Structure 1
Amino acid sequence: PCIEALDRAAWRRAWRSAGDRAPEARKDRAGETGYRAAVAEHLLRHRGLAAGAASVVLATAGTSTAVGELAAALLRPGDTVAIEDPGYLRAVGAFQAAGTTVLPVPVDAHGLCVDRIPAGVRAVYCTPAHQFPMGARMPAGRRVELVEFARSTGTLVIEDDYDGELRYDTAPLPLLAAMAPDVVVHLGTTSKIIAPTLGVGWLVARPDITEAVLAHRARIGSSPSPAGQLVLAEFARNGDLARHLRRLRRMVPPRRALLVGELADRGLPVLGDDAGSHVVVELPDVAAEAAAVDAARSRGVLLDGLARHHLATPHRFGVALGYTALTSTELARAVPIAADCLAAQVTR
C-alpha cells in the first residue's frame, strides 16, 4: 500500500474516535454494524455493487482468512477448486488447509481462461479486476462467459477484488458480483488501499452463504477483530476514506509513470493494465529471472520473481515490480537499479 498517501491527521482522528467507546462483552460474528454499513456505501459508490436483499456484507479478517472460511463452510475435504496460475498462492494455501484440492487454470492477456477450467470443480477463485500477478483485466465478454459457466455447472465463483479501486486509465468494468450475485462471492480488503495492519476486509454473498460462514464461525468460536473495523468505519464516516482514495489516485500514477519510463528507456515493455500497484516485466527463462533477482538484491533492491507465484510447473518468468510501498525518495533510487538488472538479462 501507498502509506505515503495517508493523511496522518485523518488517520489519528479515526483511531481516536474508534477508541472513544466503552468496552463490550462480546463481538458480533458478522462484524460491527457501522463497519458493514461503511463497506456497503463504499462498494456502491466506488465499485457499483449494491448489497441488499440478494446479498449480505460480512466483515472478515482479510482475503486469505475469508477464503479459508468459505472453504470450511461450503466445501468438503477432497472437493476441487480452480485457481489462476500464476496466481495468489496464499489463497491456494487457505484452500489446501481446508482439505480441498486446488487445480491450476492458465491465464492469458485477458485473465483466467474459462475454457480451461477443469470439469467437476466446486469453486473458481479469480482476480478479474487486475489479475494477480500478471495484471490483466478480464474483459466483459469473458466475464459473461465465466458467469454462464458457473450457472450452467453449479460452480461458485470467488471474486477477489484486492485492488479494484485503483484504476487510472478507464472506468472499472462491472464486478462479477454485480452481474451475478446468485453465483459469485465478492471479497475485498483494505490492505492495498489503506494498510494491511488494519487486518480487515469484507465478504459479500447471497444469504445462505453468509449464514453458512457465520455458522462456521460459531462452531469454532471465531470472529473478526472489531478494532480495525471501528477505525475504518470512523475513517469513512466523515469522508476521509473518500478523500484518501482521491489522493491515492492522484499520487500513484506518477509513480507508475516513473517506473514505466525507466523501463521503456531500456527497451523493456511492461505487462498489466494501468491500475493497481505493480507491473510485470517478462524475462526469457528461469535463469534470467534468478539472475535479475540476485543482481538487484546485491544492490539493495528486492524483486519479486514470477516463478514463485505458480501452482503448477512455472511457465511465465520475469518480475512483478511494486511501485507504491516505497517512499518517493526510495522509489527514485530503486527504479533505475531494478531496470538495469532486468535489462541486463534481456540483452545478454
Structure 2
Amino acid sequence: MNDLFTPYRIKGLELKNRVVLPPMCQYSVPNKDGVATDWHYLHYVSRAIGGTGLVIIEMTDVEPDGRISDYDLGLWSDDHIAPLARIVEASHTYGAKVGIQIAHAGRKAEDAEVPVGPSPIPFDEGWKTPRELTTAEVKDMVEKFRHAVRRAVKAGFDTIEIHGAHGYLIHQFHSPLTNKRTDEYGQDRTLFGAEIIRAAKEEMPADMPLLLRISAQEFVDGGYGIEESIAFSKVYRDAGVDVFHVSAGGEGPIGAAGRPGTHAGYQVPLARKLKEALDVPVIAVGRLDDPALANAVIGNEDAELVAVGRGMLRDPNWTLNAAEALGKSTDIPKALERGYTIRK
C-alpha cells in the first residue's frame, strides 16, 4: 500500500514523496516588476529543505495586467528567468522537484486599470467591469501563455502547472457564468484552455508532465458541479494534461475562507471522482494539514499526491514533521538530524 512517503513518478518527473507545496501568492514583489526576490528564494527553498517532494511556485503571470496585484510574480520577460532559476537550482540541492503555476487573473486582476475577461461581467459588487477580449486578443493571449511556458522551461523547472481554477482567466472562459461570448470561444468554452494546453506542450520536453489546476465545483448559484468539470477536464486531458490539481470555488464570494470549506478534506471527494471518471492522476488539496489525514488520502487511493498549503505556510518543515508523526523514514538534512528520531 502506498503512503505519503512512497516515491512517485509520472513521465520524467520523479518525486521522493507524495507531498506538494501548492502555489500560494506571496504578494511580495516590492518593485512591482514581477521579478522574484530573496523572499521568494527563502520561502520556497526552505520548504525544499523541509522535505517537500514537489514545490510549486505561486501564480506567475503572462502579462503585467494579468496579475492579481502588482506585487505578484511574472514571466512576461526574459528578465524573470534567472531569479526563478536560482530557486530551482537551490531546491534541487535538497532533493525537491520544482514546478511553476502560469496564469492570468482576467477580471480578478485587482490592480489593472481595466481588467480583461471573456465577457464584460464584474466579479462582484464593487469590482471593476472587465473589457471583453476580442477574438484576436484571445488568440494573442494563448501565445503569451506559450512564451511564459518557454521561459519556465529555460529556467529549469521540472513541471509546469497551468492555472484553470479559482475564477481566473481560463476558469472564466469555461464557466457559463462568465463566458457569454458568441464567437468560437463562446460556442466552445473549453477552446481557450485547450489551445493553451496544446501550446504549452509544444514548448515542453516530451517527458515533462503538464499539470492543470481546476475548480471542480463553483459553490455559487448557477455554477457548475462535478459532472460539468469532468466533461471539460476530459477535453483538457485529451489536449495534453497529465495531472489534475483538483480545487474548488473562485467564481463567487464563497470559497475556502467561508462555507463550504470549513471541514478537513472537503475537496478530496471531488479529486477522487475526477480521477475515477477520467483515469488520470490527481493532486488533492483543501485543509489536509493533519499528517494522518494526508497519509490516508494516499493510502485510500483518493489521489496520487497531496498538497498542503496553509500547513506549510505555518511550518516549512511540515513534511519532516509528518514523517516523524507517522513513523516514516525520509532524508533529514544533516544540520537538522538532532531534532528528529526518524532516519532514511
TM-score exceeds 0.5: no
Q: Which has the higher helix share?
A: 1
TM-score normalised by length of structure 1: 0.28
* Higher gyration radius (CA): 1
Normalising by the residue count of structure 2, what TM-score does the alignment of the two structures yield? 0.29
For CA contacts below 8 A with separation 6 or more, give which structure has more relative contact order. 1
